[in-house]
């Protein structure tokens, strides 16, 4: 156990080191960020560090113009590049890693997210932000096509493939992984229904009110400015549009939380190392989960950005939470 902790500590120190290296742009604020991260590193040994965010974080989120990157904080302008870096590295093995890390559960989470929360309908225009490898986007398109077929049967008419899914990601490497999968899909008119856009979630290249629904799954915690992302989501949605977010959250069950923390902090980086050859990126992913606001707090953030009827649903006692809201 002790050995495990020291090794985990080593990994952390490594992450901090690489951060500082990555952030070596000789800006005063970055030096401050480096100071902050090293202080935190010394003050709390890894084992005793409480990974939970204690309530709404006002103090450690917006120090000057820095945002949290894992457990350390970096300059806002640097954050985007660092996150992009992480996902560029993991892109080729991203889907397989998700299966390994979640014991295939992420497939069920996504199925429920799309089938029950989003409940696609015929002719729907959907935007999947941070859609990367298309996991959620393909599911949405499949459901839309299914609804269109059912509609055609009822009307006794030709099936009309009017629904469209736009998959948007800041990271070109992830989109490339997704495009590779299109050929193997068993969805009618998949090519025609899908479009791929490389864009930042904080400034989307779409007109106002151009989509019926918006999803962001396992992506919003990596966005530098959550408020900007949400207000963009609200802008591109039609009136009555549905915003859905699938994201890791706070585990409510004490026992499950202990097990989950042990697993994610100690096992996942090693799986990442062994399979994808990259422990640091997965260390970041795990840490960013801990830094993300809990269910209630995130719900308040969504409401503050003008969404109505905001509610959330916990899956597996809060390992993952589905938030949803409407533009009314």
Partner 1 sequence: MAGLATLWGHGLRATGRRALECGVPGLSRALHLHSGTPLLPPRSALPPFSLPTLGRVIQTSSGPNTGRSCSTDASGGASEGDVRQELLRASMTHVGKLGFTMEAIHAAGRELGFSSAVANVFERKEAELIEHFLEDCRSKMNQELEERSEEIASMKIREKIATAVRVRLKLMAPHVEAWPRAVYVMSQPPNVASSLYHLHLLVDDMWHVAGDKSTDLNWYSKRMLLAGVYTSSELFMVQDSSRDFEETWHFVDRQISRVLKLGKAGSDLLNFFASRGAPSPGKGTRV
328 binds partner 1 (CB under 8 A): yes
312 binds partner 1 (CB under 8 A): yes
Among 118, 144, 174, 230, binds partner 1 (CB under 8 A): 118
Among 131, 134, 241, 272, binds partner 1 (CB under 8 A): 241
Among 203, 240, 254, 255, binds partner 1 (CB under 8 A): 240
Q: How far is the CB of 194 from partner 1 (least distance, A)?
A: 19
Is 59 among the annotated ligand-binding positions? no
Is 217 among the annotated ligand-binding positions? yes
Rule CB under 8 A: which of 167-226 touch partner 1? 212-213
Report the residue number, 41 or 232, with the smaller CB distance to partner 1.
232
Among 7, 76, 181, 238, binds partner 1 (CB under 8 A): 238
242 binds partner 1 (CB under 8 A): yes
250 binds partner 1 (CB under 8 A): no
Q: How far is the CB of 264 from partner 1 (least distance, A)?
A: 19
145 binds partner 1 (CB under 8 A): no
Is 133 among the annotated ligand-binding positions? yes
Task: Tell me if 52 sits within 8 A of 136, measured CB to CB.
Answer: no
Rule CB under 8 A: which of 290-309 touch partner 1? 295-296, 299, 306, 308-309
Distance between CA atoms of 138 and 116, rounded to whole angstroms? 15
Task: Tell me if 216 sits within 8 A of 233, measured CB to CB.
Answer: yes
317 binds partner 1 (CB under 8 A): yes
Rule CB under 8 A: which of 9-48 touch partner 1? none
**What is the total count of residues that contact partner 1 (CB under 8 A)?**
33
Q: How far is the CB of 62 from partner 1 (least distance, A)?
A: 22
106 binds partner 1 (CB under 8 A): no
Tokens of 145: 């096509």
Is 33 among the annotated ligand-binding positions? no
What's CA 184's distance to the chain center, in Å?
25
Is 201 among the annotated ligand-binding positions? yes
Burial of 287 per CB tally in 10 Å (0-12, 13-18, 19+): buried
Among 68, 98, 117, 283, binds partner 1 (CB under 8 A): 117
4 binds partner 1 (CB under 8 A): no
Q: What residues line the site for partner 1 (CB under 8 A)?
A: 117-119, 121, 123-124, 151, 212-213, 237-242, 295-296, 299, 306, 308-317, 324, 326-328
Annotated binding site for S-adenosyl-L-methionine: 133, 169, 200-201, 217
Known binding site: residues?
133, 169, 200-201, 217
């Amino acid at each position: 156990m002790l050995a495990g902790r020291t090794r985990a500590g080593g990994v952390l120190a490594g992450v901090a080191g690489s951060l500082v290296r990555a952030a070596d742009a000789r800006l005063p604020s970055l030096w401050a960020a480096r100071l902050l991260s090293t202080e935190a590193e010394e003050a709390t040994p890894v084992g005793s560090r409480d990974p939970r965010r204690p309530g709404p974080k006002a103090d450690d989120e917006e120090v000057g113009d820095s945002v949290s990157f894992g457990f350390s904080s970096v300059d806002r302008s640097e954050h985007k590049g660092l996150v992009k870096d992480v996902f560029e590295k993991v892109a080729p093995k991203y889907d397989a890693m998700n299966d390994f890390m979640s014991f295939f559960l992420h497939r069920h989470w996504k199925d429920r997210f799309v089938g029950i929360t989003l409940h696609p309908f015929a002719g729907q225009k959907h935007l999947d932000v941070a859609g990367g490898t298309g996991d959620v986007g393909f599911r949405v398109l499949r459901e839309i096509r299914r609804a269109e077929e059912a509609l055609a049967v009822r009307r006794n008419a030709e099936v009309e493939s009017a629904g469209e899914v736009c998959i948007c990601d800041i990271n070109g490497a992830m989109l490339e992984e997704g495009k590779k999968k299109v050929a193997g899909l068993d969805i009618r008119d998949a090519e025609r229904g899908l479009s791929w856009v490389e864009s930042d979630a904080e400034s989307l290249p779409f007109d106002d009110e151009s989509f019926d629904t918006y999803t962001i799954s396992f992506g919003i915690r990596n966005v530098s400015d959550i408020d900007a992302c949400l207000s963009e989501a609200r802008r591109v949605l039609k009136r009555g549009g549905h915003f859905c977010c699938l994201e890791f959250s706070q585990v409510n069950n004490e026992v499950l939380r202990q097990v989950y923390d042990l697993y994610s902090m100690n096992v996942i980086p090693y799986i990442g190392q062994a399979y994808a050859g990259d422990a640091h990126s997965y260390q970041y992913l795990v840490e960013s989960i801990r830094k993300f606001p809990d269910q209630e707090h995130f719900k308040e953030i969504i409401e503050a950005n003008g969404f109505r009827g905001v509610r959330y649903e916990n899956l597996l006692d809060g390992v993952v939470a589905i938030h949803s809201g409407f533009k009314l």
